Each structure stands twice: as structure tokens, then as C-alpha cells.
């Protein structure tokens, strides 16, 4: 079966009906990002992170996903990463464009793009990714870490901050492990035939060549 077949199956899981009567669907992957961010932003306790890990693992241990992984693990991992990356791009683009997120002083003044990039970077590299890295190693965990990094660097482009700067500022000794996760995921699970990956990862490769990871 083709990679496109598996990506369509993953997309069916991602965009699920929340109201069959009105034929209304929701992006469940975006929901996972938002729930994770809200939970770990409030507390980085072992209990909170453990609860989020259990929730994420349950979602990505969907019987249909596990069955597909048994059929063709490599193709399914690539398809899953493509959809996680796409949702991360939407999430980061919303951070850049949302009026409330990018405003200050009671939403009266629009923040500059570099200020929004800094705000988003603190959430990505000091809150969400550190929380994910405290979870047990799983396919979805490494893909979420990589996808969020790729998406942030792609969306904020020249205003994007280096991960190590944010890690160091928060006294987080994560840079070496983080780089290994990202490089391994990009090496093994990107699919050059999937257009929605190409532009983001090409941008990250360019940034890394300039010393931005």
C-alpha cells in the first residue's frame, strides 16, 4: 500500500466527527497540542506530565494506528509525522497571527514579530518540549518534539530563536538529547514525496546551516 493510503487513514483519525448530525469535524491533533500546552504551562509536576503522557499514549495507541504499524511501520511512521508536523505548523502560525496572542497592554498594542517569536519560543523550548522530553520515549513523543521545533523555525523564520539559548536561559540541560531526537526523526521519518513536509524541513536545514537549530 502507498504512503498516501496510510496518510489518508491517519488524516481520518486526526479529523474526527464531533457532531455526526451536523457533519462537523474537529482537528484532534490541534486539540492535543492545546491541551498539552495549557496543562504543562500551569504545572511541570511529575503528576501533570504523567497524566498528559498517558493521554497522548492512549490517543496514539489507537487500534487502527497499531494495526497499520504492523502492516508497514516505515510508511505509517512517515505518514504520522506528516500529520503531526502539519498540525504543528497550524498551531505555530496561529501563534503568529492571532490578535490576542500577539498583543499586549490589554490587547491595545500589537507586539512586534520578534516579540511574538520570543514569546512562542519560550513556550516551545521551555515548556512544551521539556515536558515531552520527560516522557518515556515513544514514536509520537519524538515526532511531536521534532515537529514543534520544525514548525516554530519555519513559521517565525528570521525571528526564530535558537533552542540552546532558551534551554540555557531556563537552566535546562536538554540540548544534546534534543538534537539527537530531531536529527534521528528527520533522517528516518521524513518523506520527500509529501509536499507539506518539504518546505518546513528545507527551511530548518537552511537555519541549521546558519547555526540555528
pLDDT tens readout for residues 124-174: 999 999 999 999 999 999 999 999 999 999 999 999 999 999 998 888 899
Domain ranges of the chain: 3-209
Tell me the angle at which helices 3-14 and 73-97 cross, rounded to the nearest 10 degrees.
Answer: 50
Q: What's the gap between Cα 101 and its chain centre?
A: 18
Average pLDDT over residues 90-96: 96
Query: What cell was used for 50?
Result: 504523567
| Closest CA relative to residue 35, chosen from 128, 155, 117 | 128
Report pLDDT for 204. 47
How many other β-carbons are positioned within 10 Å of the β-carbon of residue 129? 26
CB 138 within 8 A of CB 60: yes
Average pLDDT over residues 8-29: 87
| Closest CA relative to residue 200, chosen from 162, 147, 126 | 147
What three-state secondary structure class fits 173?
coil
Distance CA 158, CA 141 (A): 27
Under DSSP, the state recorded for 157 is G
pLDDT tens readout for residues 115-136: 999 999 999 999 999 999 999 9
What three-state secondary structure class fits 19?
strand
Residue 91 has pLDDT above 90, yes or no: yes
Beta bridge partners of 26: 16
Residue 109 has pLDDT above 80, yes or no: yes
Taken in order 31, 162, 146, 208, the sign of the CA dihedral is positive
Q: What is the mean pLDDT of the chain?
A: 88
Rg (CA), the chain: 17
pLDDT band for 200, please (50, 70, 90 cuts): very low
pLDDT tens readout for residues 63-80: 999 999 999 999 999 999
Report pLDDT for 206. 39
Residue whose grid cell is 538534537: 179
CB 72 within 8 A of CB 1: yes
pLDDT band for 191, please (50, 70, 90 cuts): low
Range with the poorest average pLDDT among 13-17, 21-25, 199-203: 199-203
Amino acid at each position: 500500500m502507498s504512503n498516501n493510503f496510510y496518510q489518508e487513514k491517519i488524516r481520518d483519525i486526526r479529523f474526527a466527527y464531533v457532531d455526526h448530525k451536523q457533519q462537523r469535524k474537529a482537528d484532534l491533533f490541534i486539540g492535543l497540542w492545546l491541551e498539552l500546552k495549557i496543562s504543562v504551562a500551569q504545572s511541570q509536576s511529575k503528576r501533570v506530565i504523567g497524566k498528559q503522557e498517558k493521554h497522548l499514549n492512549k490517543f496514539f495507541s489507537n487500534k487502527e494506528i497499531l494495526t497499520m504499524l504492523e502492516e508497514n511501520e516505515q510508511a505509517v511512521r512517515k505518514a504520522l509525522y506528516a500529520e503531526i508536523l502539519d498540525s504543528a505548523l497550524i498551531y505555530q502560525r496561529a501563534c503568529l497571527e492571532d490578535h490576542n496572542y500577539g498583543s499586549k497592554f490589554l490587547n491595545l498594542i500589537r507586539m512586534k514579530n520578534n516579540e511574538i517569536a520570543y514569546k512562542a519560543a519560550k513556550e516551545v523550548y521551555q515548556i512544551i518540549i521539556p515536558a515531552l522530553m520527560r516522557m518515556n520515549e515513544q514514536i509520537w513523543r519524538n515526532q511531536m518534539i521534532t515537529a514543534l521545533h520544525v514548525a516554530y523555525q519555519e513559521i517565525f523564520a528570521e525571528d526564530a530563536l535558537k533552542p540552546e539559548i532558551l534551554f540555557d536561559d531556563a537552566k535546562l540541560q536538554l540540548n544534546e538529547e534534543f538534537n539527537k531526537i530531531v536529527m534521528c526523526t528527520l533522517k528516518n521519518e521524513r518523506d520527500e514525496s509529501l509536499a507539506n513536509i518539504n518546505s518546513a524541513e528545507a527551511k530548518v536545514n537552511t537555519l541549521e546551516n546558519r547555526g540555528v537549530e
